[in-house]
Amino acid sequence: MNYPKLPSFRLDNKNALITGAGRGIGMGASIALAESGANVTLVSRTKNELVELTNHITSHGYKASYIVLDVNNEKEVVEMINSSDPFDILINNAGTNRPAKLIDTDINDFDHVMSLNVRSVVNLTKQVVAKMLKNNLKGSIINVSSQMGHVGGPNRTTYCASKFAIEGFTKSLSLELGPEGIRVNTICPTFIQTPMTKPFLKDDEFKKTTLGMIPLGRLGEISDLMGGFVFLASEASSLMTGSSLIIDGGWTAR
């Protein structure tokens, strides 16, 4: 009998690029991949956060470096990718949200959210993929989407539009890159307790309503996502592409 072997969740000798890495979900993803053996490159605009996180990771014997970069700056992104070794793993995590009813939405806020949540993802992914293909790498691209890329929500027209766009981008790109052995998936969290969600969750009524939508009855922690990032980055998910890993406590099961 040829019994199957458990695929490896290890990421040894893999180079990973994580955007929005200094805090929140990006911080968790960076630690998770580093502890799984990857050499992680951390990107964000905030140097002090990157320095602290890099020191934390390397002090535990793992491999990490950082680049201070605004992913919305297309010229800087191109220069960074051109001067870096090719990446096997890309986590597009940098993002933002400016909640408002549609009739109160400032079009400049819409442009800001779409630029960071969608345009910068397309540009960076294009540069990383070009280098993957040039070096014949069979990599993994993980786009941080949201449960709001699968359902709607009040005051979330702009945010939902950006995350639905990421879901469509992911599916289409997976079809283009599948023959090359490059996988593209999304990870879709519910409300995670991070610096970005903290202002919203201070509102007791909002928090109560949010918890009422989650069958498991609690908000997400950064640690709830860390295993998902390792799974999508590793050979354990080698047959998974163009799909979404929804970690939402049951929100979208309704």
Chain-centroid distance of CA 208 in Å reads 26
How far apart CA 74 and CA 47 sit, in angstroms, is 19
Asked if residues 247 and 49 have their Cβ atoms less than 8 Å apart, the reply is no
Give the count of beta carbons closer than 10 Å to the beta carbon of residue 104.
9
Dmax of the chain from CA atoms? 65
Catalytic one among 3, 62, 66, 159? 159
Helix ranges (H only) for the chain are 24-35, 47-59, 74-82, 107-114, 120-134, 157-177, 198-201, 204-212, 223-233
How far apart CA 202 and CA 218 sit, in angstroms, is 15
Environment class of residue 20 by beta-carbon count within 10 Å: exposed (0-12), middle (13-18) or buried (19+)?
A: buried
Residue 66 appears among annotated catalytic residues: no
Instruction: Name beta bridge partners: 42.
Output: 18, 66
Contacts of 228 (CB under 8 A, 6+ apart): 187, 245, 247
On the CB side of 77, how many CA atoms lie within 13 Å of its CA? 21
What are the φ/ψ torsions at residue 134 (nearest 5 degrees)? -60, -30
How far apart CA 8 and CA 159 sit, in angstroms, is 35
- List, by residue number, the catalytic residues: 159
